[in-house]
Chain A
Amino acid sequence: MGHDSEGSAAASDEGNTATDRSIAPSPPEGHGVGSTIDETAASVGDLQIGAESSATSHVPSAIHQDEPRPPLPPRPGNLDLLQEGNYSPGSSLQRSKKSARPQLQSTATTALSRTDINTQSYQDGSRETYAASAETTPPSKPAGVFGSIRMFKGLGGSETGDSASVKSYAPTLEAGGDVESLLGEVLGASQGSPAWKLLSTQYEAPDPFDSVTYEDDEATVEFYREFDEIRAVDPDGGNEEQQLAQWQLKRKHFLILSSAGKPIYNRHGDDNLISGYIGIIQTIISFYEGANDQLKGFTAAGARFVIMSQGPLYLVAISKLGENDAQLRVQLEALYMQILSTLTLPTLTNLFANRASTDLRRPLQGTEPLLSALADTFTRGSPPTLLSALECLKIRKSQRQVINDTLLRTKCDTLLYGLVVASGRLVSVVRPRKHSLHPSDLQLIFNMLFEARGVKAGGGENWIPLCLPGFNKNGYLYMYVSFVSASESDGEEADDDRSESGKQEEIAILLISAKKESFYDLRKMRDAVVDQLDKNGSMSIIKAAVRRGRPTATDIVPGTVLRHFLYKSKGNVQFTMPSYEPHFTTMLARRRLLSLYHTLHASVHAKNARLKVHHCISRDSISLAWVTPLFELYCVAGPHPSRNALAQSANKVVQWVRREEERVFIIGGAVF
């Protein structure tokens, strides 16, 4: 199989061009980040990775071909980049599947469909601008350095005075913005010139580890307050300034407005408090809209603003966490999917068709906690969102088979999808042969059940009408949900709080039907499922696996220098990772780790990036991103290990996944 040796060759080629370019910028491919590979590419290229990877590619692909997963259902029509052609069954669809979900997947895709991705997140030619400006742009400072608002139109072509000056910054802000570390400005991360930063491999990456050193600094405290509620403005306005100051300290905001400018949702603060800001944002957006020239994003006061227009809605992300535009768009897309999930597309469209000034808050009532749960997940940092992939509970293949069979045996006629989910991880799925489940739909469901509190706090069984936009954005399905506590198994006390997030200590049985009257059928099925899972021992296996939690990196690769990794199997649209223990136990440490992953992810998914391997060295960590047609691997080690040690560990991880593939991933799943 040639890809991988080609891959590493491409990487070093790219490295060379990048070197040239850094002297006399010219090739359109790549930019600052591309050139970071320059030095590393040479070494990485020679590293065992290149050689190893050509070996590793065989087995997984063979496995995939054994059990091809049926294609995912088409994406909603608003995702016009959807490639219908990709649904034809066959092994190739393993990859093309992902390009069939462009909007959601915009950042997480394969080398094979890279071109698609680049256009996906910038539906309209911004790609051209980006590439073009990369030629002429000096790598520049992190976003935060600009004091005043500068706008970047993501569009090529138009050459107003404004955009010309602005354009030259665009690539660095998109690429460089994510290079900036979390809390970077406070940590004094910017040593050396910005140009040096971007051209060198030695730029300051977010420090995911050293939480002790910075634990007391102002920014850290701020991040711990990120989710504190901002109180409403008093009637006399006495506390307005204070609340506004708090609002400004938030590292991340999400706003949703109607195109008529009506506020629909904002994560922090009430409408009164931020109406001024909403007005400004709306004015800016409509200024460009008026010029028939959609605004994609801009940077102001150290924050990146990304704007997504979806039918009658504008969704805005404002981030000081260093995510790039594509990554923020994936997040906005998820919020939009939640709105569709509540309303369905026809309802949303009709509401605005009937009255452009519709106040969507009312029809969306009750959806706010779901949107906020998503928003906070993104702010904390979310591997599934970054990778657009699902995580499964690791159990033996034969054990999963028993669970699958149980679901199939007890299946009732009205069932569309049946799922067992433990602690936010998928245990088993049954589905009709012709429909697969869309990861973005599962993200909405998991968010509703495991992140938001509403459903679980109800303490009963649930019957939930919801639209799963990936399945069908035009109508509702009905979901039966019941939780089984993971702790009260076999008389054993579950006081060991080793599972990583206490609030997710639940096993959920989800049974989805298109029939709204099928509650009692599904309830009966649920009883039979739980009864049989109890009898055949599966339930205690699931509970034990949940309580065991994820293995640590050193459990997986004894003696490894790795502290954490993310491994995404592209074909399965699933990922696996070790425990956050022992290095990333605090919220801040995790956020820093995730920021580093975002940086790595951005480098290997940058437009025109051809790199397969990307190294990143900072004062506090050394890390690696490695992309092949089969997988994406992101690994992080402490500051001291050599690249060689890191590469060796990366190879070990790949070997581990290959060995454990049918345990860490659901391959095929059960179909009926």
Chain B
Amino acid sequence: MTSRVSTGTRPGARFAQFKLVLLGESAVGKSSLVLRFVKDQFDDYRESTIGAAFLTQTISLDDTTTVKFEIWDTAGQERYKSLAPMYYRNANCAVVVYDITQASSLDKAKAWVKELQRQANENIIIALAGNKADLVAEHPDKRAITTSDAEAYAREAGLLFSETSAKTAENVRELFTAIARKLPLEQAGARNMRSNPRQGVDLRPEAPGTQGGGACNC
């Protein structure tokens, strides 16, 4: 585990760092969600991810608590499937994404959830995101998966759930915040004591040029 909580300079300030992985079928909008979350941008025409992208974003939960996500945005295409364990193996949390206008994408999401529950860290927090909500707002007939069906599944599988739109930013920040709140901040410090030796690396200050944004760039 590489999550970590440390006491900052301010009295009572807490800083925690978690690894988050995004999984889901190709073109459901994983990269778009991440780009919205990290840079508050959206791209109508995005090329498919090659391999995986690594980004970080820091959010404040309240006056004293800062959470930094180290995000693996994985490629949804079949041929990269065998690499997925490398990204979720040490993850504290996962966002599994489907496209609410594509029925098959929820099946794929369910398969990912299953795999995570079997293979990933047993305390992993999983959120299910039904993306492209904006498409349905305009054309309700485009919806292929009802909110209640997805919700029922999420409840049953013990997942956080929301419908999102990377395009309009609807529920994007909220989703990540909900995950952060669910992460075991209190225990993270203790777990961190026996974290792997890479810890030091992961916590290096951001070098100039890496994606900035967020509180850590001051």
Contact = CB atoms under 8 A, between A and B. Distances in A.
Interface string B69-90: 0010101011110010010000
Contact of B83 (A363, A455, A465): A465
Interface in B19-53: 26, 31, 34-35, 38-39, 41, 43, 46-53
A461 B55 contact: yes
Contacts of A478: 51
Interface stretch (A164-172, A393-401, A481-489): A481-489
B204 interface: yes
A459 B57 CA distance: 12
Given A366-B75, A524-B201, A530-B207, A458 B80 contact: no
A461 B34 CA distance: 13
Contacts of B49: 366, 454, 458
B153 interface: no
Most chain B beta-carbon contacts within 10 A, residue among A369, A455, A458, A462: A458
B198 interface: yes
B73 A530 contact: no
A1 interface: no
Interface stretch (A41-49, A150-158, A512-520): A512-520
A413 to B, nearest CB: 14
A462 B208 CA distance: 16
Contacts of A519: 54
Nearest to B41: A459
B209 interface: yes
Interface of B: 26, 31, 34-35, 38-39, 41, 43, 46-56, 71, 73, 75, 77-80, 83, 86, 198, 201-202, 204, 207-211
Given A524-B204, A527-B207, A465 B51 contact: yes
B52 A534 contact: no
17 contacts: A362-B78, A366-B47, A366-B49, A366-B77, A448-B50, A453-B47, A454-B48, A458-B31, A458-B49, A459-B53, A459-B55, A460-B73, A464-B50, A465-B51, A519-B54, A523-B54, A527-B207
Contacts of B51: 462-466, 478-479
B208 A366 contact: no
A457 B43 contact: yes
Contacts of B73: 458, 460
A523 B53 CA distance: 12
A531 interface: yes
A363 B99 CA distance: 21
A213 interface: no
Given A458-B31, A520-B202, 14 more contacts: A365-B79, A366-B75, A366-B77, A455-B50, A457-B43, A458-B53, A459-B55, A460-B55, A463-B52, A464-B51, A465-B80, A517-B86, A520-B198, A524-B204
A482 B210 contact: yes
Contacts of B52: 462-464
Nearest to A372: B47
Interface in A311-368: 342-343, 362-363, 365-366
A369 B47 contact: yes
A403 to B, nearest CB: 16
A452 interface: yes
A49 to B, nearest CB: 47
Contact of A530 (B47, B79, B86, B208): B208
Contacts of A524: 201, 204
A87 B48 CA distance: 39
Contacts of A464: 50-52
Contacts of A452: 47
Contacts of A365: 26, 48, 77-79
Contacts of B39: 459
A369 B38 CA distance: 24
B35 A459 contact: yes
Most chain A beta-carbon contacts within 10 A, residue among B41, B50, B54, B202: B50
Nearest to B87: A463
B210 A534 contact: no
A515 to B, nearest CB: 11
A534 B49 CA distance: 30
Contact of B209 (A343, A453, A483): A483
A457 B46 contact: yes
Nearest to A366: B48
A461 B53 contact: yes
A466 B75 CA distance: 13
B48 A460 contact: no
A406 B35 CA distance: 32
Nearest to B71: A460
Contact of B207 (A366, A463, A465, A531): A531
Contact of A454 (B47, B210, B211): B47
Nearest to A460: B55
Given A459-B38, A459-B39, A520-B202, A363 B54 contact: no
A531 B71 CA distance: 23
Contact of B210 (A363, A448, A461, A465): A461
A519 B83 CA distance: 12
Contacts of B202: 520
Nearest to B47: A454
Given A365-B77, A459-B211, A516 B54 contact: no
Contacts of A459: 35, 38-39, 41, 53, 55, 211
A448 B78 CA distance: 20
Interface string A593-604: 000000000000
Contacts of B41: 459
Contacts of B31: 458
* Nearest 8 A/B pairs, CB to CB: A454-B47, A460-B55, A464-B51, A366-B48, A484-B209, A458-B53, A460-B53, A461-B54
Contact of B79 (A363, A458, A463): A363
B86 A534 contact: no
Interface string A367-382: 0010000000000000
Contacts of B77: 365-366
B195 to A, nearest CB: 13
B211 A460 contact: yes
A648 B112 CA distance: 68
Most chain A beta-carbon contacts within 10 A, residue among B53, B56, B73: B53
Given A363-B78, A457-B43, A459-B35, A369 B48 contact: yes
A454 B50 contact: yes
Contacts of A369: 47-48
Contacts of A458: 31, 35, 49, 53, 55, 73
B140 to A, nearest CB: 22
A516 B38 contact: no
Contacts of A454: 46-50
A524 B54 CA distance: 13
A509 to B, nearest CB: 9
Contacts of A453: 47
Nearest to B54: A461
A523 B77 CA distance: 24
Given A365-B78, A483-B209, A530-B208, A516 B83 contact: yes
A455 B211 CA distance: 14
Contacts of A343: 79
Interface string A49-65: 00000000000000000
Given A482-B210, A524-B201, A462 B38 contact: no
A458 B56 CA distance: 12
Most chain A beta-carbon contacts within 10 A, residue among B51, B54, B79, B201: B51
A463 B21 CA distance: 14
B78 to A, nearest CB: 7
B46 A516 contact: no
A482 B208 CA distance: 11
A394 to B, nearest CB: 22
A478 B38 CA distance: 25
Nearest to A364: B79
A424 to B, nearest CB: 18
